[in-house]
Structure 1
Amino acid sequence: MGVSDLPIVIHFWARWCNVSKTMLPHFSTGARKLAGRALFAKVETDKEASLAQRYGIECVPTLVVFRSGQEIVRHCGAMTAGQLGLWLQPHLQKST
């Protein structure tokens, strides 16, 4: 199983949004806990406006999960690290 088989979780956030800034450490904690089962990335929507537009990001924070280049699920709003883990559970690679 290669890295390319892993789902990719992208956290779209904005510096002006307190809710999405509050979620950053939770996202980082979740990413550490789930390392090897998914890839994690953060996108600051103001710096990457074309990317945010391309994926139709209408609120921040928004979490989007991709597998094989296809979006499989998205969530608008903040989550704790625990909620993130539960939400991602069905989409993660099974740990061996």
Structure 2
Amino acid sequence: MDGTQGFLPGAAAVRLLMHRRHGVGTDRLLVFTGSEEVPSFAAFTPEGEQQELTAADYAVLSRSKEDYELRLTNGFVERLRAVDAERLVCAG
């Protein structure tokens, strides 16, 4: 996921995005957070927790020779924004 443009989901949105029934169903989310000059990535668990990249994450990134694109509908992106906003209101 490119975290340098557009919407960068928070913890609640990451949980929804990674959910097996209501999202895309993934075990790990790698977000590009750098630039072409200085590439960097953040990794998230299905619980929405940010972690350091593991050796397995680096292996996936090094093997990937293609870009994979997943297009989310505007309605789903609005749901992601809504769950993050709800979490911010509850935490505030």
TM-score normalised by L of structure 1: 0.29
Larger Rg: 2
Structure number with higher strand proportion: 1
TM-score normalised by L of structure 2: 0.30
